[in-house]
Amino acid sequence: MKTVGFIGLGVMGQSMVRNLMKAGFEVQAYTRTKEKAADLLAEGVRWCDSVEAVCQNADAVITIVGYPSDVESLYFGDGMILQSAEPGTLVIDMTTSSPLLAERIAEAAIDRSLLPLDAPVTGGDVGAKNGTLSILVGGGEYAFTKARPLFEAMGQSIERMGYAGSGQYGKLANQIAIAGIMMGNAEMLAFTKRAGLNPDQLRQTIRGGAAGSWTLENLVPRMIVEDYAPGFFIKHFLKDMKLALESANQLNIKLPSLELAHKLYSILEENAYGENGTQALIEYYMHQDV
């Protein structure tokens, strides 16, 4: 396997492409806004003018875009991935998307002799840059084995969770956990500040105990200095939580903490925080009249 077609060059996608190139893969890319690809093109990525073109002569086609509607439009229809990829091609969606959509894509892909995988990631912008993403994969064992060198170029913890849709279910479970952790850390920090404590001193003190977490290490420092640059957009986290709530409804399980997190982040989005990183949740607690 040598050539990878890549669609989606956002915060995550750009770093993932760089790590694929470091591992020796040739990358040809397409994104709706060519300007986003300028740095990568200068580094050796080949630009394609269409979805059809990015699929040509590709051993694998990877997508990581914004919303399930974006995924659906890329895979289905004239000139799109399922029609344009050659038989035997790996088609890997790494967007956090709908498990039911992943199942639909897999069924249609198999009918066209393609090798489908849903493989959403977690680890944020830091994990994408460092090649240490966790990758949760749904799909067949053969496709997973064939795709493993690609995943190893981009991630560190790589697990096949089951058949089509299982990767998406795994990622939504991850987002459910994150939602609670984000609320807990934001509440901790707001309480610390109101109590007159030094927040970074407290963070350093508790990091080795039961409160220690990736969020405490990577996002709480950003909360403290009010750095809300997006490693992961609030608007995309809201999309993920909505997908998780929809899946929970289908699975007949109530998730009250997730419902609360979705409500709080929705308030922030309504007040123009949607383009900020998820750490901006602290703004709700520090200014509850936002």
Walk along the chain (290 residues) and give the pLDDT tens digit of each residue: 799 999 999 889 999 999 999 999 999 999 988 888 899 999 999 999 999 999 999 999 999 998 999 999 999 999 999 999 999 999 999 999 999 999 999 999 999 999 999 999 998 888 999 999 999 999 999 999 999 999 999 999 999 999 999 999 999 999 999 999 999 999 999 999 999 999 999 999 999 999 999 999 999 999 999 999 998 899 999 999 999 999 999 999 999 999 999 999 999 999 999 999 999 999 999 986 54
The pLDDT value recorded for residue 51 is: 97
pTM to 2 decimal places: 0.92
The pLDDT value recorded for residue 289 is: 53
Does the annotation mark 171 as catalytic?
yes
Pairwise CA distance, residues 221 & 215, whole Å: 9
The pLDDT value recorded for residue 125 is: 84
Catalytic residue among 171, 239, 254, 263: 171
Tell the burial category of 181 from Cβ atoms under 10 Å away from its Cβ (0-12, 13-18, 19+).
middle
